[in-house]
Structure 1
Amino acid sequence: MCAALTMAATSTTPVSASESPLLAERLREAVVAQNFKDVIDLTPPEPSAPPPEQQDKYDPSPAELASRTRSRTDGTPLHQTPNLDAAVIELDPLGRPKSVANVLLSPQHPNGVIVPVQAPGLSTAQVRYRWWNDREWDLNGGIGTRDVLPGRENAPIDFSSPYPASVLKLLVGFGVLRLADQGRIDLEADYAYTPAPARGACGGPSTKKVRQHFDEMITKSQNESTCALVKLLHDLNAWDHVNQTFADLGMPTLMLTGTIPGNGGSWGGANMSALDTAKLLLLINGGTDVLWTTDNGKPITAAELSPPSRAFFLATLAGQGHNEMLSTPNWCGRDYPSRGIPQQVPARWIEPDGTVTVGDAIYDRDVRPCNDTAEVTFAHKTGWTSTSGSDAGIVKSLPGKAARDYIVVVFGNLGMDYTDTVRPADPPGVFPVLYTQKYAQLGRAIDTIMKAP
């Protein structure tokens, strides 16, 4: 694979992705080729309707998903190009960034726009990021009205960042492990979660080890455990510090704000760009030497998290049970959805008959044939809401398979309220297909690009 932005880890010369455009251009072509506008909108905008009340954004539970699955005959064609933020970082054998690409899709950029990424910061000042708002996207041509970062008013690319859904749990996980490294949190200690006030999506009181909350938050995307850990960070008055740490480490678009101290709920104040999320995964993955250098000249290394914390984070990501956006092996052998990144399903979720059960989510396919032909592992986190589809993770080739080692992040606003024009009904009693299969097709296209020649 030829690099789009090739650099030594200690490079001090800014290099724009446009100066070595191969990876970035191939990523742009892959995004555009999926024709993301060619989907059905199950809840088309109603301009005369009053603005909806602000709602919390949680990934619905499997039971709620099953009850709200809609007929594929509903809805109308999507009225404009959706917003999508895709980033890829290719890794060298020592875990350092070898090349990077970032592409944005929006009504203003229906053919995709390549984001100029500078080394050594793996950063851009060329995007005016806006907070996501469903109604503004529907009725304002996809243009947001509230800036994420100050001082970007004259940036040439104006882009509303899709809500990250449960990928925001990476932010919670980083905060917990950062404080564990500082001796302020003990992963082996029990944490008594006592929500006040109680909140439906967060569940009731519980007592579990912090480590268990963390595992459930990542591998099963369990909202109750996430609320508990968000509250734990509030108990320690740590959220301002955690959000500032992301900025200090050169990932300023990463933030979780406005959560409720008493119960850890209300996650609508989360923002994540694909580029900064890829950098967070780069740090979690580890690597020798300097991974990037901030605008203030601070060299960032994997030592920002201790080796045990990084190993634990990676192990939970590698144990992901919900493999159903950029990768789709949980539906092995189905004609729909398309097969995405050819990953191996973790053994912990596979029943004796080869089917997969993740908490209350039941999948009806024998995944062993797909595991036999899998080419990679995918340590990742997915997320879904009505208007969010997200996936972020680390891809590594299995022994004997075509070599690739890369990080991929995709955020889009095509969530559960959008479906494909031709889509079979989900079998009764099993976990439904949540997104358009175009995400899986994009995942497969990116993996093909990243294979070594």
Structure 2
Amino acid sequence: MAQPTPAAKHSSAALAKRLQATMAGLDFGDLVDTAPPGSAQARALAAQPESESGRPPNAPALNAAAATTIHQQPQVDVSVIELDKKGRPVSSGTVLMSPQYKDGVVVPVDKNLRTTAVRYRLWDNDQWDANNGQGTTDTVPGRDNAPIDYMEPYPASIVKLMVGFGILQLVDKGTITLDETYAYTPTKPSDRCEGATTRTIGEYFDRMITISDNGATCSLIKVMHEHGGVDWLNQQFQDLGLDMLQLKGTDPANGDWSPQVTMSSLDTAKLLMLINGVSGKAWTAPNGKPVTSAILSKSSREYFRKELGDQGWNNVLSTTNYCGYTYPTQGMPQRISSRWIGPDGTVTVNDDPTDGKYQYPVKPCQDAAQVTFAHKTGLTAVAAGDAGIVHSLPGKKKRDYIIVAFSNLGWRYKDTNRPNPGVQPAVNRTEKFAKLGRTIDQYEAQR
């Protein structure tokens, strides 16, 4: 039997150093908190059910007059993995930022892009506000003496990458098909999930990834429960050495998920590396077995990448949806899917006037694009992130890399330079991630 091709030589120092310097230079502490700890706004926000769809219509109004400067350095977790032409890792960098690590701390990784140097803690917003950013609940056992103690931000809708990975493995096993019709019949109500619906598995998958539909996600998690796929998937992540990928606390009655779900930027980037496709061995699992992209079939990987490439929400590390706006700044120079571009040249993802219907034609940014970005975003009041695969467009400077960012900087927090919403349409996230995406892409273009 042919042995897997060994991965390209791993080196991370230069990339990690550049990533740390970039994050420190962005001054993530220069933000405004519209719901300061202990305020009436904070209490109203805490009383709302968790939302995964940006700022929901029933969210409490946050009085700008009561806003204050963010009281401590936010939690930001970023990883970049550089790839060779065969999809193999050539270098990586992971940097964690928090009140304890105000300039960011580089996470040491071994030759398998794995770390045991971080004592990861489960996200708790109250603890972050009141306990100097320190968490108390371990998410990975046996890390009591790890040199870095870090409360990992809630991944928000980026959890849908884990769900998609599990669903496509059920497809590869022949348990389900993308074309089959599924009648979602929840037996328990949920604020996040929808009522009974009937669609094909593929339609649910498409809605989950491209428009971040929570109802579709609940439906697919319920599908996984009905086939024993959730517990199996969680065990598989552990077997692969992806310790922080944990789809925990899901409800088999309706497919809803809980704050117990965890992801780290490093493990998410490694998952995306498998989805992208690796020639030979990607890394060695803790049990000594080689991990390869064969964990998903070629057709499933292609389908997953296509869905991620059709992402509607291009507004975190990339900001092509906001082409023509004076704010937020231009992020990664991404060419977006034409699927969302109307006859007038503007992007419409949904009917939300604050973040779903965009004002200006995106053709100038499409013409100037340098890369494709197959990705998934996530946003709540206290979480914002983006995770995806970057490849250069034909004729552009060559780059192939994966970038993942998690943070607690959801729509509760605003940039100090954010224009008056009466002049500039509301933007429910900081533009610092767009600056991060642009800076890292420029660095990668020079590699």
Question: TM-score higher than 0.5 here?
Answer: yes
Q: Structure 2: how far apart are the matches of 1:213 and 1:254?
A: 22
In structure 2, the residue matched to 1:284 is: 275
The residue matched to 1:243 in structure 2 has which SS? helix
Match of 2:379 among 375, 378, 384: 384
Unmatched runs of 5 consecutive residues or more in structure 2: none
In structure 2, the residue matched to 1:179 is: 170
Shift of 1:57: 3.3
- In structure 2, do the counterparts of structure 1 residues 173 and 429 end up closer, same or farther at CA, with 3 Å as the change threshold? farther
Is 1:161 paired with 2:152? yes
Is 1:35 paired with 2:27? yes
Does 79-88 or 229-238 show the bigger shift?
A: 229-238
Match runs of 1:294-333 below 5 Å: 294-333=285-324
Q: Percent identity?
A: 48
Q: Structure 1: how far apart are the matches of 2:283 and 2:63?
A: 47
Match runs of 1:54-453 below 5 Å: 57-60=50-53, 64=57, 70=62, 73-119=65-111, 121-360=112-351, 361-426=356-421, 432-453=426-447
Checking the alignment, whether the CA contact within 8 Å between 1:258 and 1:267 is kept in structure 2 is yes
Q: How many residues align?
A: 439
Q: Structure 2: how far apart are the matches of 1:405 and 1:100?
A: 12
Q: Structure 1: how far apart are the matches of 2:245 and 2:296?
A: 17
Checking the alignment, whether the CA contact within 8 Å between 2:28 and 2:73 is kept in structure 1 is yes
The residue matched to 2:206 in structure 1 has which SS? helix
Q: Structure 1: how far apart are the matches of 2:422 and 2:282?
A: 46
- In structure 2, do the counterparts of structure 1 residues 35 and 62 end up closer, same or farther at CA, with 3 Å as the change threshold? closer
Counterpart code for 1:325: V
Q: Structure 2: how far apart are the matches of 1:117 and 1:344?
A: 32
Q: Structure 1: how far apart are the matches of 2:372 and 2:161?
A: 18
Q: Structure 2: how far apart are the matches of 1:37 and 1:222?
A: 31
Shift of 1:266: 3.2
Checking the alignment, whether the CA contact within 8 Å between 2:329 and 2:434 is kept in structure 1 is yes
Shift of 1:63: 5.9
Shift of 1:371: 0.2
The residue matched to 1:32 in structure 2 has which SS? helix
Checking the alignment, whether the CA contact within 8 Å between 1:294 and 1:300 is kept in structure 2 is yes
Q: Structure 2: how far apart are the matches of 1:63 and 1:352?
A: 28
Shift of 1:51: 12
- In structure 2, do the counterparts of structure 1 residues 222 and 159 end up closer, same or farther at CA, with 3 Å as the change threshold? same
Does 55-64 or 322-331 show the bigger shift?
A: 55-64
Counterpart code for 1:59: E
Query: Normalization by structure 2: what TM-score?
Result: 0.93
Note the alpha carbon deviations across 1:289-308, whole angstroms, 9 max, x for none: 10111122110111000011
Shift of 1:204: 1.2
Q: Structure 1: how far apart are the matches of 2:321 and 2:26?
A: 22
Counterpart code for 1:434: N
- In structure 2, do the counterparts of structure 1 residues 72 and 379 end up closer, same or farther at CA, with 3 Å as the change threshold? farther
Counterpart code for 1:442: L
Q: Structure 2: how far apart are the matches of 1:271 and 1:320?
A: 22
Q: Structure 2: how far apart are the matches of 1:381 and 1:69?
A: 27
- In structure 2, do the counterparts of structure 1 residues 55 and 258 end up closer, same or farther at CA, with 3 Å as the change threshold? farther
Q: Structure 1: how far apart are the matches of 2:8 and 2:363?
A: 47
In structure 2, the residue matched to 1:3 is: none
Shift of 1:205: 0.8
Checking the alignment, whether the CA contact within 8 Å between 1:384 and 1:390 is kept in structure 2 is yes
- In structure 2, do the counterparts of structure 1 residues 266 and 288 end up closer, same or farther at CA, with 3 Å as the change threshold? closer
Counterpart code for 1:451: A
